[in-house]
């Protein structure tokens, strides 16, 4: 086991996310974490990395297990370094050794008989060799190329890139660090279809395990070999691909629908007595009708929000594509306008997503009451 939950319950305020959940991540597992918006998928990742403490139970992790956590808040990171330099920061010790070896080399030229300097220089070279440090530039360039960056991009400052491209640089750094488990929260945000395919290809080559959250079904189907679904505060495990899980889910739903239909067709035995109760079904029917109306209203609202979110996302991706063109920086005023619109759209998308989560929770609650 690399990491997992043992009888874990987590409550976010008055809202319960998971209850008495137990599951573990094993080497080689590529897990797609799915569930309706608002069920707490991102929150669960934060529990795993220790940002939130469980209400009960424990997060279990071996001392040797290393984690990499990619999430949207990382976009606040700023630097004037090139994207290659950012990716190379994954090799912190090797970078220190490079400076140390260069410094010691200069000192030895001036003091060639200094035995202490020679020993330190030899030790540093040996450690560099053990860490395969002479290959880090090649490795960084290979990963960056695999995520869609050109040779010309490698020397460009990180801050020149838009959000989606910056996220790829940070993912490249994380892949180069080779943690045992990657936790990826919406890594396909801001990516076009070609970029999604590149990212899927990079993850399929990754030797460690990972858990990913994504609204992109194609991406999950290309990368996950196991599905964990958060439903009714439980984590249900399905061993198989996303497509296989969807097929199984639909088959289970058809069986449940058939059972409900069979139950409705059973003859109803009406009690001979209890005339006073004759008014109760009518009252209940009135309540149920109101709930049906509420459900239809919320579903309509959900559809409108999804349509608005889809339009914003499409425009967001258009701006991503335009801002990734190096030629745009020749027109700073135009770039500033685009960056401003991009920022506004990002905030609006977050606001609509929150509203959609709230409406979805109402829909799920009403459907449960009416079932």
| 80, two tokens | 């004037």
Its domain, for residue 222, covers 1-66+179-251
Position 188 in a domain: yes
Position 78 in a domain: no
In 3D space, the residue among 300, 296, 299, 310 whose CA is nearest the CA of residue 352 turns out to be 310
State whether 290 and 365 are in the same domain.
yes
pLDDT at residue 292, as a whole number: 84
pTM of the model: 0.65
Distance CA 89, CA 81 (A): 10
Tokens 């974490």 belong to 33
> Environment class of residue 266 by beta-carbon count within 10 Å: exposed (0-12), middle (13-18) or buried (19+)?
exposed
Positions in the chain whose pLDDT score sits under 70: 264, 266-284, 317, 320-321, 323-330, 368, 371
pLDDT at residue 288, as a whole number: 79
pLDDT at residue 157, as a whole number: 95
pLDDT at residue 366, as a whole number: 75
Residue-wise pLDDT for 291-331, tens only, equals 888 888 888 888 888 788 778 877 876 776 676 565 665 67
pLDDT at residue 213, as a whole number: 94
CATH number at residue 237: 3.40.50.300
Write the CA distances from 164 to 74, 145, 173, 367, integer angstroms. Answer: 11, 15, 15, 37
Position 23 in a domain: yes
Number of domains in the chain: 2
Distance CA 1, CA 71 (A): 24
State whether 291 and 361 are in the same domain.
yes
Residue-wise pLDDT for 168-216, tens only, equals 999 999 999 999 999 999 988 877 788 888 889 889 989 899 999 998 8
pLDDT at residue 282, as a whole number: 53
Residue 156 in contact with residue 82, Cβ under 8 Å?
Answer: yes
In 3D space, the residue among 106, 108, 127, 126 whose CA is nearest the CA of residue 117 turns out to be 108
pLDDT at residue 210, as a whole number: 96
Residue 199 in contact with residue 169, Cβ under 8 Å?
Answer: no
Tokens 């030790």 belong to 123
Position 143 in a domain: no
Alpha-carbon Rg for the chain, nearest whole angstrom, is 27
| C-alpha 148, offset from chain centre | 19
In 3D space, the residue among 183, 246, 174 whose CA is nearest the CA of residue 212 turns out to be 183
Position 191 in a domain: yes
């Amino acid at each position: 086991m690399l990491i997992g939950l043992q009888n874990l319950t987590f409550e976010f305020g008055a809202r319960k996310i998971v209850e008495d959940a137990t599951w573990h991540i094993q080497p080689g597992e590529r897990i797609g974490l799915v569930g309706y918006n608002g069920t707490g998928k991102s929150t669960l990742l934060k529990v795993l990395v220790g940002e939130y403490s469980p209400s009960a139970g424990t997060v279990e992790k071996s001392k040797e297990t290393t984690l990499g956590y990619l999430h949207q808040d990382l976009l606040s990171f700023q630097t004037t370094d090139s994207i290659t330099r950012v990716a190379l920061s994954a090799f912190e010790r090797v970078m220190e050794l490079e400076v140390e070896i260069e410094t010691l080399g200069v000192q030895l030229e001036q003091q060639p008989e200094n035995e202490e300097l020679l020993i330190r220089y030899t030790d540093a070279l040996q450690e560099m060799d053990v860490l395969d440090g002479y290959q880090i530039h090649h490795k960084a360039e290979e990963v960056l190329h695999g995520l869609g960056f050109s040779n010309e991009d490698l020397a460009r400052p990180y801050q020149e890139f838009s959000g989606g491209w910056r996220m790829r640089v940070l993912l490249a750094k994380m892949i180069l660090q080779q943690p045992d488990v990657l936790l990826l929260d919406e890594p396909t945000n801001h990516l076009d279809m070609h970029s999604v395919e590149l990212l899927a290809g990079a993850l399929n080559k990754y030797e460690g395990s990972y858990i990913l959250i994504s609204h992109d079904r194609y991406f999950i189907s290309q990368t996950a070999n196991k599905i964990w679904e958060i439903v009714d505060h439980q984590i249900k495990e399905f061993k198989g691909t996303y497509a296989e899980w969807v097929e199984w889910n639909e088959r289970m739903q058809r069986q449940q629908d058939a059972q409900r239909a069979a139950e409705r067709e059973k003859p109803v035995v009406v009690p001979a007595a209890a005339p006073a109760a004759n008014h109760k079904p009518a009252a209940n029917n009135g309540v149920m009708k109101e709930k049906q109306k509420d459900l239809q209203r919320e579903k309509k609202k959900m559809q409108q929000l999804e349509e608005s979110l889809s339009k914003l996302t499409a425009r967001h991706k258009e701006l991503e594509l335009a801002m990734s063109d190096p030629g745009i920086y020749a027109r700073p005023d135009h770039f500033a306008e685009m960056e401003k619109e991009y920022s506004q759209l990002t905030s609006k998308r977050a606001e609509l997503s929150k509203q959609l989560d709230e409406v979805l929770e109402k829909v799920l609650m009403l459907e449960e009451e009416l079932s």
